[in-house]
Amino acid sequence: MEKVETVSAVKHLQSTSDTGTDETNKGSNQMEKFTEMEKKVLKAHFKVASEGNGTSIMEDLINDNYSYADVKDLSKKTGYTINQVKGVVSSLCKKNAIYPEGEDDYDLLIIDPDFMKEFDPKTNFLSDDFLK
């Protein structure tokens, strides 16, 4: 099994925005636009996705096209109430990090693939450094 280096997503984004050479970064530090609650819900969403497909590496998650969670999952993982999670989800949708799928806006939530592609493909999204 190949050892994969844990990469801090923020460090990756900061280093590429300094040089301006990484096209996937789009010239900005994505994490600056998220609140602590949003980061916690995003991390929870990545954990739920990991449980669904057995990976912790961004590239594998993108290739597997599995990044689903629902509000109940996110509430359990974060300790936030359902209504708190709905509010955070609404904000994350406006920031193009996730989007709803299905008839009820909160039935099924998907991490936006374009958002995932802004990270180094080898990012371990289960690491403690992720989204700090």
Domain segments of the chain: what residues? 9-116
Residue type, 15: S
Phi, psi of 110 (to 5 degrees): -125, 135
CATH architecture of 9-116: Orthogonal Bundle (1.10)
Q: Express each pLDDT in 91-127 by its tens digit.
A: 999 999 999 987 666 678 999 999 999 889 999 988 8
The tens digit of pLDDT for each residue in 30-53 reads 667 899 999 999 999 999 988 888
The radius of gyration computed from the CA coordinates of the chain, to the nearest angstrom, equals 14
Distances (CA, A) of 11 to 89, 99, 112, 131: 25, 25, 21, 10
Distance CA 67, CA 86 (A): 18
